[in-house]
A and B are shown apart, each in its own frame.
Chain A
């Protein structure tokens, strides 16, 4: 029995993007540009843990989270899901991903399916549940995130908040070992953010294991056991919310927290 639900050991990930460099006259030259998004990051999550990663945008938080779900394959290092090493050659990644719930910043619901269809699809086709049971579990999940009024709506017909809660339902319906949430509220306006945060708070109360990338500080303070300050591809500082809200040890974290808290109070 492994101690951790999920663990990342010394993970590295570099990706290259093509930047268009404005050349002379009308010729724009694409230049390859290397981004070191994850540099030697390790992280352990126990059952029932709620950990929150925050830091400036473009620092590689999302890339790290995608590496955890093996949606991006790390260049170096290991990812463990329970006892299973996902980075080992021959690991069954599809099976592993079925045990990990993933919630996207830009939601990414399946556009051709209704809310119910979105949640049901993986239950039927990945977990191979019989029709009745899949339907029941999908309805339960949708109920839990309080969107039972739009089960027959298509993503295009929902508000952003409803769509993101369906996204959460899609992630939790499979009873995953852990849920990874990549800035679940940052694409929503403040009013809709509240709905989604309420849903996450409910999940937290039930003891759901979660790793969340977010800048929702009041929420973090309330539910997170541990906050992880992430900058330039590295974990800069780790600690309980009280540490960050009172006196972070590193200057960089201090700076960032001041800025974030000022912003929140100004609103």
Chain B
């Protein structure tokens, strides 16, 4: 099999790698934002968030993937029987723990004054968060989110352990099936991962700088 053929086989794994990363990223936003605001503004229950973050940041993804997929599948075939779901679920919740920390810094950057100004016009705490804090939080977290996204693209490689045919799984199969060529498939895979990570992080950083200029930071 020539290099080009191998490359095509790997490319066919890109949609899966991308969709796992993007879904996980989105889950990370949706779960991570509330976690961050709870830690900053609901001090009484922030210990729960703290525990959550410690667990998801402290346990290797590969352990979590195996645990949720093979551990929970017998008891909850739906949804844990679905490898794609488990991949997004685990990587998403792990990302939420990371993103929560990114947003916490960003909330400090936006500043408590914005929150007070929001409450002064009649918003409740959580509605001020929604209308005033969240739109500004992203301006302060673009560089952190860029590297978080890169991390997700890379970590999506771990899902080969639950048998999803994404880029890493395909590299591994090519390496095993070929006549002892372990270099080509993995170099090609590495190139694909680099191509997937950087453009988005770059664009996000640019967008963030533009936004920051607009609001005068």
**Are B122 and A71 neighbours in the complex by a CB distance under 8 Å?**
no
A154 to B216, CA, bound (A): 9
**Complex interface residues of chain B between 115 and 154 (CB less than 8 A to chain A):** 116-124, 127, 131-132, 135-136, 139
**Which one, A97, A104, A156, contacts B122 given CB within 8 A?**
A97
Q: Nearest-CB distance from A224 to chain B (Å)?
A: 23
A interface, how many residues as a size bin? 20 to 34
A110 to B123, CA, bound (A): 13
**Complex interface residues of chain A between 154 and 187 (CB less than 8 A to chain B):** 154-157, 170, 174
Beyond A104-B120, A110-B114, A112-B135, 4 additional contacts (C-beta under 8 Å) are A100-B120, A108-B113, A122-B123, A125-B131
Q: Nearest-CB distance from A90 to chain B (Å)?
A: 14
A106 to B217, CA, bound (A): 16
Residue ID in chain B nearest A99 by CB atoms: B122
Judged by a CB distance under 8 angstroms, whether A64 is at the interface is no
**Which one, A99, A111, A121, A156, contacts B114 given CB within 8 A?**
A111
Q: Nearest-CB distance from A155 to chain B (Å)?
A: 7
**Complex interface residues of chain A between 87 and 135 (CB less than 8 A to chain B):** 94-95, 97-100, 102, 104, 106, 108-112, 121-122, 125-127
**Which one, B114, B123, B131, B215, contacts A154 given CB within 8 A?**
B215
Q: A94 to chain B: which residues have CB within 8 Å? A: 119, 122-124, 127
Q: Nearest-CB distance from B114 to chain A (Å)?
A: 7
**Are A174 and B122 neighbours in the complex by a CB distance under 8 Å?**
yes
Q: B127 to chain A: which residues have CB within 8 Å? A: 94, 125
**Are B121 and A122 neighbours in the complex by a CB distance under 8 Å?**
yes
**Are B114 and A108 neighbours in the complex by a CB distance under 8 Å?**
yes
Judged by a CB distance under 8 angstroms, whether B214 is at the interface is yes
**Which one, A110, A125, A127, contacts B117 given CB within 8 A?**
A110
Majority SS of interface residues in chain B? helix
Q: Return 11 A-B CB contacts under 8 Å, by A number.
A: A97-B119, A97-B120, A99-B122, A102-B120, A102-B121, A110-B117, A125-B127, A125-B131, A154-B214, A155-B215, A156-B215
**Are A156 and B121 neighbours in the complex by a CB distance under 8 Å?**
no
Q: B122 to chain A: which residues have CB within 8 Å? A: 94-95, 97-99, 122, 126-127, 174
Could you list which residues of chain A lie within 8 angstroms of chain B, going by C-beta atoms?
A: 69, 71, 94-95, 97-100, 102, 104, 106, 108-112, 121-122, 125-127, 154-157, 170, 174
A74 to B160, CA, bound (A): 58
Q: Nearest-CB distance from B131 to chain A (Å)?
A: 6
A267 to B119, CA, bound (A): 38
Q: Which 3 pairs of residues, A with B, have the shortest CB-CB distance?
A: A156-B216, A98-B122, A122-B121
The listed residue with most A CB atoms (<10 A of its CB), out of B120, B124, B131, B139, is B120
Known: A106-B113, A110-B114, A125-B131. A98 touches B215 (CB 8 A): no
**Are A97 and B121 neighbours in the complex by a CB distance under 8 Å?**
yes
Residue ID in chain B nearest A121 by CB atoms: B131
Q: A110 to chain B: which residues have CB within 8 Å? A: 114, 117-118, 132
**Which one, A98, A108, A121, A157, contacts B216 given CB within 8 A?**
A157
Q: Nearest-CB distance from B127 to chain A (Å)?
A: 7
Known: A71-B120, A94-B122, A122-B122. A111 touches B215 (CB 8 A): yes
A43 to B11, CA, bound (A): 73
**Are A69 and B120 neighbours in the complex by a CB distance under 8 Å?**
yes
**Which one, A98, A112, A122, A126, contacts B139 given CB within 8 A?**
A112
Q: Nearest-CB distance from B33 to chain A (Å)?
A: 16
A97 to B119, CA, bound (A): 7
Q: Nearest-CB distance from A226 to chain B (Å)?
A: 24
Known: A154-B215, A154-B216, A155-B215. A126 touches B119 (CB 8 A): no
Residue ID in chain B nearest A94 by CB atoms: B124
Q: Nearest-CB distance from A177 to chain B (Å)?
A: 12
A100 to B123, CA, bound (A): 12
**Which one, B120, B131, B216, contacts A111 given CB within 8 A?**
B216
